[in-house]
Amino acid sequence: AQSVTQLGSHVSVSEGALVLLRCNYSSSVPPYLFWYVQYPNQGLQLLLKYTSAATLVKGINGFEAEFKKSETSFHLTKPSAHMSDAAEYFCVVNTNAGKSTFGDGTTLTVKP
């Protein structure tokens, strides 16, 4: 069985500050890992995904995530937060067949 834990249901940062959203997973096989984002009044969309080609994955809007097998983590970061980054972020682990398990999400608030 696979599971995802997102540490911190709410994260608040100032504009220009570092964004760090934490995700730990458990999976019995090498994982397929994703971050999805849901902006206010919009549907879920892919931010980035881990494809095993590189442990540091770059996504849209300046976000990146690093896969650390020893720590079973896939934390999401952005060096400098923008007001438009305010959204809910979900960490997801997939099986080989594409069955997804979502974390409970982290709501990011960006203060001016």
Partner 1 sequence: EAGVAQSPRYKIIEKRQSVAFWCNPISGHATLYWYQQILGQGPKLLIQFQNNGVVDDSQLPKDRFSAERLKGVDSTLKIQPAKLEDSAVYLCASSELGLAGGYNEQFFGPGTRLTVL
Residues that bind partner 1 (CB under 8 A): 4, 9, 32, 34, 36, 42-46, 49, 51, 90, 94-105
Per-residue tokens: 98: 């594409």
- Smallest distance, Å, CB 85 to partner 1? 19
Instruction: Please say whether the dihedral angle defined by the alpha carbons of residues 25, 75, 100 and 6, taken in this order, is positive or negative.
Output: positive
How far apart are alpha carbons 111 and 108 in whole angstroms? 10
Task: Say which residues have a Cβ less than 8 Å from residue 56's Cβ, sequence separation at least 6.
Answer: 64, 65, 66, 67
- Smallest distance, Å, CB 6 to partner 1? 8
Nearer to partner 1, 38 or 77 (CB): 38
Nearer to partner 1, 1 or 83 (CB): 1
- Smallest distance, Å, CB 112 to partner 1? 26
Q: Are strands 73-78 and 64-68 parallel, antiparallel or unpaired?
A: antiparallel
Nearer to partner 1, 32 or 67 (CB): 32
